[in-house]
Amino acid sequence: MRYVAFVLSMILLSGSVAAVSEAGKGIEEQLSLAEKDMHDMQSYGLFISRYNDTLLVADELFRSQLAVEDSGGRADYSFVEEKLGELLDIKQKAYLSMDALTGLGIAMNQTEGIDLAPVLEIYGEARAELESERYEECLALVDRAYEKISELEAIETKIVAFYQAAGRGVFGFLLSSWKEIASMLAAVMIITVLSYNRVAMVLLRRKIDSINIRKESVRNLIKQAQSEYFEKGRISESSYLLRTKKFSEIIRDLNRQVPLLKEELAIRMKRKI
């Protein structure tokens, strides 16, 4: 197996440490840490094929430059460093995708009163992307799922209001409210022509609601990470720090978006149709 081959190559390299330059030793240490990170990812339930492939390439590049050093030449480890950077990026996105998907599941379990079938479909797609190690696509789908939850909640509110009105009796409602209905139809005709601003306001409110749902989900993930590290000891300190740092960055980013959206909403509310 490729992973076994990588481990064997590291064992062989350990016998030639004396011939490695200081720069090479530093790279070798980073490769060893990257191997440990791969173990942690696997124990956390993440798929590691993409990470392992990149690690093998980094190892091969390292060995080729080590051979240059052994022959008296000057090694260039820049390509190895580039691959190490890719490994860090893969690791961060892998953990973030897994936790984002977990947070979405929590948000779905806490959502009541709406049909979550469309959200479950998106959730399934996001999980498939995670298992295929396409983390960027997974995160995009998670965002889409939150927006769908907000959209469905808004629709459900309108449906409930409609049925409450209809419950008073359709005929009686029409008879007693024909003036209001006529006015409403006239308004609808006007809005159909000049409703761009109102539609934009609805979309802005929906976006704000979606962000609030996402923030609550991320806060739950922070609590979960704290429990797994401090109480259960299921994750390492480095993984805990990485995850809490990423979650804090997400919350800061979401907090930056809300004032801008509210400012735009306030401006549009002052405009007349």
Q: Using CA atoms, how far apart are residues 177 and 184, in angstroms rounded to an integer?
A: 10
pLDDT tens sequence across 166-225: 555 555 555 556 566 666 666 556 545 455 666 677 778 888 888 888 888 888 888 888
From 80-89, 112-121, 141-150, 199-208, the region with the lowest mean pLDDT: 199-208
Instruction: State the virtual CA torsion across 49, 54, 55, 61 in degrees, nearest 10.
Output: 150
Let me know if residue 32 belongs to a domain.
yes
Give a yes or no: residue 116 inside a domain. no
- Contact predicate 156/113, CB 8 Å: yes
> Measured between alpha carbons, how far is 44 from 240 in angstroms, rounded to an integer?
12
Of 90, 124, 151, the last residue of a domain is 90
68 vs 81: CA distance, rounded Å: 17
Report phi then psi at 196, rounded to 5. Answer: -55, -45
Task: Indicate the average pLDDT of the chain.
Answer: 79
- 143 lies in a domain? no
CA angle 170, 173, 175 (to 5 degrees): 110
Better-scored residue on pLDDT, 57 or 181: 57
Would residue 133 count as lying in a domain? Answer: no
What values do phi and psi take at 237, rounded to 5? -65, -40
Instruction: Identify the domain boundary among 90, 112, 131.
Output: 90
**Is 95 within a domain?**
no
Q: Does residue 187 fall inside a structural domain? A: yes
264: in domain: yes
Residue 199: Cβ-neighbour burial (10 angstroms; 0-12, 13-18, 19+): exposed
Count of structural domains within the chain: 2
At residue 233, what are phi and psi to the nearest 5 degrees?
A: 65, 30
Residues 177, 84: one domain?
Answer: no
Q: Using the 3D structure, point to which of 90, 115, 150 is the last residue of a domain.
A: 90
Q: What is the domain extent for residue 272?
A: 169-273
Is there a domain that residue 136 lies in? Answer: no
pLDDT in tens, 1-47: 444 344 435 444 444 444 567 878 888 999 999 999 898 888 888 89
Q: What pLDDT band is residue 163 in, cutting at 50, 70 and 90?
A: low
